Amino acid sequence: MTNEKQVYLIKIYMYVCQTYQDKLQYQCMRMSNNKIPIFSDEELLTVYLFCGAFEQRLTKKAKHTFAKDYLLDWFPQLPSYQTFSARLNRMGEALKTFVDDILDSFKPADIDLYNSIVDSMPIMLCTGRNRQGKVAREIADKGYCSTKNQYYYGVKLNMLAYRRMGTIPFPERYVITPASENDGTVFKRDLAPDLQNKSIFADKIYQDQEFWEEMQRIQQLTLYSPFKKIKGEPIVISQLLKAERKLYSCAVSSVRQPIEAFFNWLNEKTDIQRAHKVRSTQGLWLHLMGKLSIAFVYLIFNC
């Protein structure tokens, strides 16, 4: 392992230890005789995050194998794979707290506080119009991804992100929802409350004239989205305004494009979109929060 990666390993461990003492320990409390394990939770999370972010080991098995082969000098009490996997499965809530702490603590200096982009990406447990998913029914269901023209069973990652000039946006807030939920409804319910003085760049699905008029009046929120055809509009008016509307839609789409690049980067870095091997609600929550943690750790140490 190179000296540079050793530095990253130390930085991750120090940050995990600090966050664990401040917040994460309350998600990991044990009421048993083994409340202080030999291989600590801080070490467990450090191995998971480092192997994912800087060694591109995307599965629990690959992470454990790498740690066993190359990190035993750093973590001599590394447990068996079965114990490693079982303990990680209980870390979903802790990793969610970890993600939230990163978003609160590491905002880049170049974020645009007054312009944000919103979009969603599917997380697929299985695909196919007639496939009936049986895993994590508490949080997953069947939906349709128009971008991929595909039916799937799973969840959505809905994200609002700060715009950054010349690079991918930085996440502002996010929410996990069942695949069937409408993106516009999710934005109104979970992402829009308490936002103030912002321009929101979004897809057509977020359009709702009555809602945005109220948001403009109460919270000074303005929506910019590609032009959507007006039902019943005379053809002569459509033709007259065609060029103007096309230019406007292209301008909005060019501002929105970076969040699609962010999702592509997130999937390339963590393979978050493929959750076909998940077998439980607990496993799905670890998959979601773990992959986001890995991506954000990489992002903050490489800003």
Residue 158: pLDDT over 90: yes
- Residue 233 confidence (pLDDT): 77
User: pLDDT tens digit string along 197-255?
Assistant: 999 999 999 999 999 999 999 999 999 999 888 777 788 888 887 888 899 999 999 99
User: pLDDT tens digit string along 254-264?
Assistant: 999 999 999 99
Whether residue 49 contacts residue 63, with contact meaning beta carbons closer than 8 Å, is answered with: no
Residue 32: pLDDT over 80: no
- Predicted TM-score (pTM) above 0.75: yes
Q: Which long-range contacts (CB under 8 A, 24 or more apart) does 266-274 make?
A: 266/121, 266/291, 266/292, 266/295, 267/121, 269/53, 269/56, 269/294, 269/295, 269/298, 270/52, 270/58, 270/294, 270/295, 271/58, 272/123, 272/157, 273/121, 273/122, 273/123, 273/124, 274/124
User: CATH classification of 101-300 is 3.60.21, yes or no?
Assistant: no
User: pLDDT tens digit string along 89-139?
Assistant: 999 999 999 999 999 999 999 999 999 999 999 999 998 877 777 889 999
Give the residue extent of every domain in the chain: 3-88, 101-300
Residue 27: pLDDT over 90: no
Q: Tokens 């969603």, residue?
A: 120
